[in-house]
C-alpha cells in the first residue's frame, strides 16, 4: 500500500511505539488519527489529528470513530491497535483490578476498535488492521501470566480475524515485538539507546514495512527481536 493520503487510526499514540509509528506514517504522507488518553507532547502536523479515547470503554471507541470520520472523512484504510498495558506480578498476589485493566485494554480494546472499522473496510473492499501483540503471546513467562494471557488472546483473535475478512480485501497482521525500550510497565528509557533492546522506531519501521507489502500479499504475523540481546 502506498501510504500517501491514506487514513490511519492509531491507538496508544502518546508515547513509545505509538508515537514513533505516528511520526513514521506522517513522513510517508499518511493522515493519522491518533487515539489516546493523552495527546503526544509536541507532535504538531497538518495531517495529524489527536482524538481523545480510552479504548477500554466501548462507548468511547464508538465516539472516537465518529469524531475521526468527521475530521478525516468516511474512508479508513488502516487501523493499528497499539494501545496496551503490562502489569507484572505473581498470580497468587495479583490484584483482580489489574488483571481486568490489562484485558480491558489489550483484548477488549482491540475488539472494540476492529469492530468499529470493519463495516467501512468491507464496503471499500480494502483495509489493513495491525494488532500489536508481543513475543509474550508466544511463550509464557513467570510473573507475566496476566500479560501473556492477553497477548495470547490478541494473537488468537488476529489469526481468526484474518481468515474471516481476507476475502473482503482486508489484511490482518499481528506484530509481536520482543523487548522494547519504552515507558512500558513504568520503566524509564535511558538517555542513550540500550543496544540490547529494540527501539520504538524499530517496531514502527516493521509496521510500515508490513503496510507497504504488495496488494496481493498478506503478512499474517511478524516476530521482531533485538539482534544481540543481553545474555
Q: Which residue among the candidates 147, 152, 157, 162 is catalytic per the annotation?
A: 147
Which CATH superfamily does the domain covering 55-60+72-224 fall into? NAD(P)-binding Rossmann-like Domain (3.40.50.720)
Tell me if residue 65 is catalytic.
Answer: no
The cell numbers describing 51, all together, are 482524538
Half-sphere CA count of 13, side-chain side, radius 13 A: 31
> With contact defined as beta carbons under 8 Å apart, do 104 and 114 qualify?
no
> With contact defined as beta carbons under 8 Å apart, do 206 and 222 qualify?
yes
> With contact defined as beta carbons under 8 Å apart, do 88 and 185 qualify?
yes
Each residue's pLDDT, cut to its tens digit, for the chain (231 residues) gives 999 999 999 999 999 999 999 999 999 999 999 999 999 999 999 999 999 999 999 999 999 999 999 999 999 999 999 999 999 999 999 999 999 999 999 999 999 999 999 999 999 999 999 999 999 999 999 999 999 999 999 999 999 999 999 999 999 999 999 988 765 545 555 556 677 789 999 999 999 999 999 999 999 999 999 998 876
Model's pTM, two decimal places?
0.94
Q: 53: closest CA among 34, 81, 75? A: 34
> With contact defined as beta carbons under 8 Å apart, do 161 and 129 qualify?
yes
Amino acid at each position: 500500500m502506498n501510504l500517501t493520503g491514506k487514513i490511519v487510526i492509531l491507538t496508544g499514540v502518546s508515547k513509545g511505539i505509538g508515537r514513533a509509528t505516528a511520526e513514521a506514517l506522517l513522513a510517508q504522507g499518511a493522515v493519522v488519527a491518533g487515539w489516546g488518553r493523552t495527546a503526544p507532547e509536541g507532535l504538531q502536523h497538518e495531517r495529524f489529528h489527536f482524538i481523545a479515547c480510552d479504548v477500554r470503554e466501548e462507548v468511547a471507541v464508538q465516539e472516537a470513530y465518529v469524531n475521526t470520520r468527521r475530521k478525516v472523512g468516511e474512508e479508513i484504510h488502516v487501523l493499528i491497535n497499539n494501545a496496551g498495558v503490562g502489569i507484572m506480578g505473581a498470580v497468587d498476589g495479583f490484584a483482580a483490578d489489574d488483571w481486568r485493566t490489562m484485558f480491558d485494554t489489550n483484548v477488549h480494546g482491540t475488539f472494540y476498535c476492529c469492530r468499529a472499522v470493519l463495516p467501512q473496510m468491507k464496503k471499500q473492499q480494502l483495509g489493513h488492521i495491525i494488532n500489536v501483540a508481543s513475543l509474550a503471546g508466544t511463550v509464557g513467562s513467570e510473573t507475566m501470566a496476566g500479560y501473556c494471557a492477553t497477548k495470547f488472546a490478541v494473537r488468537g483473535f488476529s489469526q481468526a480475524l484474518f481468515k474471516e475478512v481476507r476475502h473482503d480485501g482486508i489484511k490482518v497482521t499481528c506484530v509481536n515485538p520482543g523487548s522494547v525500550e519504552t515507558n512500558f510497565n513504568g520503566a524509564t528509557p535511558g538517555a542513550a539507546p540500550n543496544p540490547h533492546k529494540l527501539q520504538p522506531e524499530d517496531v514502527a519501521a516493521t509496521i510500515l514495512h508490513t503496510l507497504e507489502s504488495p496488494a496481493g500479499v498478506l503478512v499474517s504475523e511478524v516476530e521482531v527481536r533485538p539482534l544481540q540481546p543481553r545474555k
